[in-house]
Homo-oligomer: A and B are copies of this chain.
Amino acid sequence: MTSIYYKKINEMKKVFIEGAIQPGFVAEAIAKHQSKKNIGAHNIFLGQIRADEVDGKQMNAITYSAYEEMAAEKLHEIREDAFAKFNLTCMHIYHSLGKVKAGELCFFVFVSSKRRKQVYQATEYLVNRVKSEVPIFGKEIFASKEFQWKVNV
């Protein structure tokens, strides 16, 4: 039981990032895979905050919170399913917590494989499952300081 517990804690650490995900963080993640010489193809999804207008009000930022313990369990399940479904070498999922401003990155999914065939589909699968099944909550903040709770479409 102890080792499973630590494994989960480790996964939690890896997933959530305080504030925006920086382009340099993406570069570091890519660089870490250059020693893996059986990888031929990477696919990366990045979610960026749009400055949408809602009823004439401009969105400035999203503040994210999460039920982290449940998120860690769910992400573990999603990862296992993706490894079973697709032929992947590595898989990484990162999501912001706290405030992320328009133009900044909040979500980073990274899959690697020997060949390119399945990487696009694997990324799409992970992105969709994280968005629909992982308990993360976004609060959209407007320039006026008003807010509304984000709903995924």
Contact = CB atoms under 8 A, between A and B. Distances in A.
Interface stretch (A5-13, A38-46, A141-149): A38-46
Interface residues of A, number: 39
Nearest to A103: B34
Given A43-B44, A116-B45, A120-B124, A38 B51 contact: yes
A37 B23 contact: no
Interface string A14-49: 000000000110111011011111111111111111
Contact of A44 (B44, B48, B103, B104): B44
A102 interface: yes
Nearest to A117: B124
A103 B45 contact: no
